[in-house]
Each structure stands twice: as C-alpha cells, then as structure tokens.
Structure 1
Amino acid sequence: MQMPELITAIVDDHPIVIEGLKTLLANEENLRITSSFCTGADILAYLLDQPLDLILLDITLPDISGIELCKQIKQISINTRILILSNHTERSIIMQAIQNGASGYLLKNSSIEELRHCIAEAIKGNICYSKEVMEIISRPSKNELQGAPRLTRREKEILALIAAGKTSQIIGQELFLSPLTVDTHRKNLIQKFGVKNVAELVMAATQQQVL
C-alpha cells in the first residue's frame, strides 16, 4: 500500500540552500516540496490557507527567529511536523527549538541519509536528531555540572511566577512587592543559574528540577 505524499515546504533565507534541498529531495518517494519561503511572515500567511505535513526550517531568518516561528507554526497548524536545519550548535538553542514544537534538529552538514531518517521519525511522531546534534545534547551543560543553586523562599516564588510568563508588574502585585524589587530578584536568579536571559533561566530551572 502506497503511503500518501508528504506536502513539504522549505523555509530558509538563502535561496541557494533552498535549491540545494529541493535537488537533494527531488527523487524522494512520498515527499513533495510544494513551496519555499525566505521569511517567517510568508510561511505563516501560507499556512492559514494551505495545510503542510512537513516544514524544513532554518533558525536564522530576516524577520523572526526560527525558534519563535516553531511556536507560531504549531499554534496555526498543530499537525505540521517541523525539522530544524541549522548551523547553530548551542545546546540551549537545540533544546528550546524542541520545547517550542520542533520534531527534530539537524545541522546543515548532515547527510541525506540522516535527513531521510529524521523525516521518517518526525512523521511517526518521534523526535529525532542528527548524529552530531545527539552528541551535543548528550553532554551535560555547565549548569548541570554545577548543580542547582540554592534559592531563598522568595526567589522560588518569583521563579515560579516568571515561568508562568508573568511580568514584574503582575508578580509585584501578587507578592506585594515593587516591580523594581522583582526585577532585582530576576537579575539575581539569572546570575545564580549562570544564564543570559529569562528563557534560559526557565529552561535551566526545569532541567535541574527546581521548577
């Protein structure tokens, strides 16, 4: 019994990469590339009218990060599978892409066999990585090696509210603190976990089971 064709789109800001992927995948059975885009806005507009089974997505786009775009694509089309194809090798970026709904992450130097394998796994509903990405995420992060930092009761309260997506203003109202005090706690938490921003803070706290 023949499998139905996977309607596929490529999103990358380099036309030469798009053409290369089209050529590589031209003879793949059960996969049909129907469209390609260079911006996040274009793929989101397309998805409002046309369903897609699979999107091959770059992270570096001119109008939006591919990581954020993952989340927005899933909000429009929950059943669309997204495979990230990127040159970014930072562990935090890989993990955030998966958290935002990607079904897999491959580096652009991956082989066609790895790409085929990840497409097949993504369509089955599994999460898949290229070999090099697997090696990156299997290494413990700096935060994991250091262990979870010691937090005060107030820091734990504020961390939980930050993870819930609440602003300093709202957190201040709920805990009867000034927004400035909340911001100070936020900066202290970022410093204690050794991260750069709130997204990394929440990820590190989740990995270390503080949240």
Structure 2
Amino acid sequence: MQHIHILMVDDHPIIIEGYQNTLMATKRDDQTLVIDTANTCDAANLLMERAADERPYDVCFFDISLPPSSDGKITSGEDLAKIAKNILPNAKIIILTMFNESYRIHSIVKEINPDGFLIKSDLTSSELAEAFHHILVDPPYYSSTVSNFLNKSIINEIYVDEVNRKILHLLAQGMKTRSLPEHINLSMSAIEKRKKQLKLLFSISDGKDESLIMEARKKGFL
C-alpha cells in the first residue's frame, strides 16, 4: 500500500474541498491519501515545520494568492513553496493560481521550478487527477496555459526576484520608501536603484510608485 502524505493550501475552503474530493475519488486502489489543509501562510508554515520533524509531505499544493503571515515574512504561496523546497526537499511542489500572465508564469518557473503548475481557469477534475498521478511518477506537469507561455519566447522577459517582490509588497501596503531599509537588508541607495529598475521593467513613464504598484498588480506580481 502506498501512503501519500499531502498538504493543500488555499484561502478558499471550498476549493480545497473540491481538490480533496477529486483526489479521493480518483486515487488508485493501492493508494492511501492522508491530506492536511491550510487556509493561511501561518497555518501552512506550521504544518510544514511539523511534517519536516515527523512525517514529511510527499506532495504540496500551493495557491499563489494568500494573505501574508502575521509577521509579514511569508507573503504568498510562492514563499511557502521556497520554504517547502528547503525543509521538505523530497516533496513534489504543485503551484495552482488564477494568474495567467506570461511574465508571472515565467517568474514562478524560474524561482520555484515546480513539479506541477496548474492555472485554475484551465483546471477540470480530470486534469487535476491526471496531473497528480503524472507528477507522482514523472514530473513535471504543466497545464496548457503554462505550457503555451513557456513555449513562446518573451523578448522583454520580466524577472522579479525575492527582494524586488518584497519591495513591491511593502509599497503596496502603503509603506514609504524611507521606511523600507527597516524591513529589507539593503541601503537606501540600493533600494532606490531597485525601484528605478522595477519602473523600467514595468515601463512606468510617470515615475510614480502608485503606477508601479498598479502595473505590478495587473501583471500578477501582487
């Protein structure tokens, strides 16, 4: 009997219920699925730390858009996936998201290199089941939208690293630039330089932080 220990993270309980029902209905007879669920970054992080000490997860499903952790250090499913790769090195990582923006998809693939990457608007019960069984045996599995974007070469590819994402996140929360060095281990001039690069990357012509945040949100980075 194959025991598969699974973590599912999504801030909408009804979506998790749908995933659970699909996997339980389509599992093989020789498989036993043990599924833990979390709706927040804090809850997911706690479950992962516990699993790392006791029985590591075999598969982790992460939604990208999640409310940040209470200390503000974990801002998304992307951050959770990075933690999982570190403390649960053998776990298969599956990213699920509503974002279907090519830049965002490229960024996630570069930063996480997930074993599965599914766009929710592509997703049917049969595709989720197919993806799950495929990933257990022969990862990766990318849904059609992801595959299409990755197959197209993007000339001006936007790649936003972890520090730049944190700058965007803090600015979006209304933090002033002068306060950023308190939360990011960089000098003010280094932060200003990164902000300039971000504005170039996102083609912000008016130079305003508000325009940068709006464009980053539109492209799925917030």
Instruction: Give the TM-score taking structure 2 as reference length.
Output: 0.63
Q: Which has the higher contact order (CA 8 A, sep 6+)?
A: 2
Residue matched to 1:156: none
Offset of 1:14 from its aligned partner?
0.5
| Structure 1 unaligned residues grouped into runs of 5+ | 145-165, 170-178, 201-211
Q: SS of the counterpart of 1:60?
A: coil
Q: Deviations over 1:104-161 (max 9, x none)?
A: 21122312332233223332362220112212332332505xxxxxxxxxxxxxxxxx
| Structure 2 unaligned residues grouped into runs of 5+ | 69-74, 158-183, 204-211, 217-222
Contact conserved, 1:70 with 1:97, CA < 8 A, in 2?
no
Contact conserved, 1:8 with 1:31, CA < 8 A, in 2?
no
Partners of 1:22 and 1:108 in 2: CA distance: 15
Relative to structure 1, the CA distance from residue 77 to residue 139 in structure 2 (aligned partners, 3 Å threshold; closer, same or farther) is same
Q: Deviations over 1:166-191 (max 9, x none)?
A: 9654xxxxxxxxx63x5565455445
Task: State the structure with more CA Rg.
Answer: 1
Relative to structure 1, the CA distance from residue 187 to residue 17 in structure 2 (aligned partners, 3 Å threshold; closer, same or farther) is closer
Partners of 2:22 and 2:195 in 1: CA distance: 47
Residue matched to 2:146: 133
Residue matched to 1:87: 98
Partners of 1:38 and 1:126 in 2: CA distance: 26
Instruction: Give the TM-score taking structure 1 as reference length.
Output: 0.66
Task: Determine if the alignment matches structure 1 residue 53 to structure 2 residue 58.
Answer: yes
Count of matched residue positions in the alignment of Structure 1 and Structure 2? 165
Q: SS of the counterpart of 1:135?
A: helix
Q: SS of the counterpart of 1:49?
A: helix
Relative to structure 1, the CA distance from residue 190 to residue 6 in structure 2 (aligned partners, 3 Å threshold; closer, same or farther) is same
Alignment of 1:107-122 (within 5 A): 107-109=119-121, 110-122=123-135
Contact conserved, 1:22 with 1:33, CA < 8 A, in 2?
no
